[in-house]
């Protein structure tokens, strides 16, 4: 079955006819060619596929694209300014070496961005708890926590 979906992705309206079973992450990567959103586990565990749907961080591998019909979606590509200036959270990950291979990073950054305004003066413990849906196999998390703390304060 084909369904029509319309959503705003990174500020731009997109409309497409897709198979009803299309996952949001596949719509983003395969149809829109926005490959910054990664697929790590494809089983809703790792968080690499995290994007925002109407301002909320969600795992796009565990949602149908049709469930985001009519929504505003933000992916990692939507964070930097038009002139390429990084979003403060991206800049903080760079500054604090919050990444090594970078595979988890788009999801980490999108997940962390949702905390902006929600966790002012977050403690390390709160940040770790809040990032529970995002896994990193490289960094050991220390620098991710530092980066998120700085990004939230920026």
Partner 1 sequence: MQAIQLHQPASLADAAKLRSGNDDARFLAGGQSLLAAMKLGLNSATDLINLAALPDLAGIKVDGNRIVIGAMTRHADVAANADVKRLIPALAVLAGSIGDRQVRNVGTLGGSIANADPASDYPAAVVGLGATVRTNQREIAADAFFTGLYETALQNGEIITAVSFPVPEKAGYVKFKAPASRFALVGVFVSKGTGGVRVAVTGAAGSVFRAAGVEAALAGNWSAAAAKAVKLSADNLNSDLHATAEYRAHLIPVLASRAVTAAG
Ligand X SMILES: Cc1cc2nc3c(=O)[nH]c(=O)nc-3n(C[C@H](O)[C@H](O)[C@H](O)COP(=O)(O)OP(=O)(O)OC[C@H]3O[C@@H](n4cnc5c(N)ncnc54)[C@H](O)[C@@H]3O)c2cc1C
What residue has token string 């991710």? 144
Q: Can you state the angle between helices 105-114 and 142-153, rounded to 10 degrees?
A: 40
What residue has token string 């920026």? 154
23 makes contact with ligand FES (CB under 6 A) = no
- The enclosing H or E element of 59 equals strand 56-59
By C-alpha distance, which of 128, 141, 132, 137 is closest to 97? 141
Binding mask 104-133 for ligand FES (x = CB under 6 A): xx----------------------------
Stretch that binds partner 1, among 8-16, 30-38, 58-66, 137-145 (CB under 8 A): 58-66
152 makes contact with partner 1 (CB under 8 A) = no
CB closer to ligand FES, 5 vs 147: 147
39 makes contact with ligand X (CB under 6 A) = no
Write out the residues near ligand X by the rule CB under 6 A. Answer: 44-45, 62
């Amino acid at each position: 079955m084909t369904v029509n979906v319309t959503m705003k992705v990174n500020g731009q309206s997109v409309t497409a006819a897709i198979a009803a079973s299309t996952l949001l992450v596949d719509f983003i990567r395969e149809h829109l060619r926005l490959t910054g959103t990664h697929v790590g586990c494809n089983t809703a565990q790792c968080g690499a596929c995290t994007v925002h749907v109407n301002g909320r961080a969600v795992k796009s591998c565990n949602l149908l694209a049709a469930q985001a019909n009519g929504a505003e979606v933000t992916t990692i590509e939507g964070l930097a300014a038009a002139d390429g200036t990084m979003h403060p959270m991206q800049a903080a990950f760079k500054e604090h070496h919050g990444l090594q291979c970078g595979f988890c990073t788009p999801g980490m950054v999108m997940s962390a961005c949702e905390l902006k305004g929600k966790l002012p003066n977050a403690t390390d413990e709160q940040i770790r708890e809040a990032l529970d849906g995002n896994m990193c196999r490289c960094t050991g998390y220390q620098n991710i926590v530092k980066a998120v703390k700085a990004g939230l304060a920026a």
